[in-house]
Amino acid sequence: NNLGISLRNPGAQIHPGVMYGRWCSEKWDGQPLAEKPLFYQGVDEFTEGVLTELTNEVQAIKSKMEEVVPGLDLKDACTLHQWYLDCYGGQMTDDSTLKSCMNTNPGYRGLTHPCKEEDGKFMPDLKYRYLTEDVPTGMCFNKGLGEILGVPMPMTDKVLAFAQEHIGLSIMVDGKMCGPDIGKTRAPQALGISTLDGFLKAAGM
């Protein structure tokens, strides 16, 4: 169903999560780099941890929705690791973990982080579509629905706070989807939906 497909959306988690994992203040000192880092092949344990928390938070939304709507089947909304197994099974040389799936997917070979060259060195392009598009259209839907359901989403909060700072939007304020730019997202709150009853009615459930 449409909700399962929306929650399955890998771009809502992978793109913002990998950007955060490489360029958050815990991992980057703000200085230019000699070369562009690899995007998927460069996923390390820290970024895998970010992505795992993001996908687990979406799984918590899935479980809560199936709990409150009897008979609802959101099997399409699988984990990121399962998504790789479903979409790229047999192509990866190591599919044992999420990190190894991303590191050994031949379709990703050589793909780098979006960067801008400055004086022969590279700075991240933090206004690239991985943040400007995938956060408002994907991650914000997940966060908005999670908020309605009362599902804690601490890693989504971290990544969303990081992203909105760099893309120049105020979407989330004090952990709530109530910023002045909420209308530029696909969060339920952008349509004035802030209760479970309101969401279920709008979704025809």
**CA-wise closest residue to 46 among 123, 111, 106, 98:** 98
Residue holding tokens 């991650």? 139
Burial 27-58 (b: 16+ CB within 10 A, else e): eeeeeeeeebbbbbebbeeebbebbbbbbebb
Whole-angstrom distance between the N-terminal and C-terminal Cα of the chain?
A: 11
The span from the CA of 182 to the CA of 199, in Å, is 16
Two tokens, residue 37 = 């880092």
159 within 8 A of 20, measured Cβ to Cβ? yes
Strands (E), 32-98: none
Burial of 110 (0-12, 13-18, 19+ CB in 10 A): exposed
The span from the CA of 106 to the CA of 172, in Å, is 37
Q: Is position 15 annotated as part of the catalytic site?
A: yes
- Indicate which residue of 15, 81, 113, 166 is catalytic: 15
Residues that are catalytic: 15
